[in-house]
Amino acid sequence: MLFADPLPQSHKHHWQTLECINLIGYARTSTTEQVNGLEALRVALKAIGCDNMHNKQTSATGPRRALAEALGYVRGGDILVVAKLDRLARSVGHLGEII
């Protein structure tokens, strides 16, 4: 299950009460100049309860090791959370491969 935007406050508490659910956060920015952008994504993910976060500053065409790590970490019942959907996939086709 993927969430593109932070969960509404009413949903936040619901997910946090389910002990078997792990919220795994993924954040990415394209350039090292986007330090503030990456930090904003981290803050948003932390705010909705992501304890395990994978993030990286990498080019749009380069390898995404943090994404591979996050996808490798996800287990049945876990939820991969992204603060912005365009940070997850390069295209609709790529999104289909991930899901």
Catalytic residue among 10, 30, 59, 91: 30
Task: For residue 10, indicate whether it is catalytic.
Answer: no
> What's the rounded Cα separation, in Å, for the pair 12 and 14?
5
Q: How many domains does the chain have?
A: 1
- With the C-alpha atoms ordered 26, 28, 32, 33, is the resulting torsion angle positive or negative? negative
What is the residue range of 49's domain?
2-98
**pLDDT at res. 99:** 81
Q: Is 58:40 a contact under the CB 8 Å cutoff?
A: no
> What's the rounded Cα separation, in Å, for the pair 73 and 50?
13
Q: What is the CATH number of the domain that holds 23?
A: 3.40.50.1390
Q: What angle do CA 86, 13, 53 make, to 5 degrees?
A: 40
Q: What is the mean pLDDT of the chain?
A: 76
- For 43-70, the pLDDT digits (tens) are 889 998 888 888 877 666 777 888 888 8
Q: Is 53:45 a contact under the CB 8 Å cutoff?
A: yes
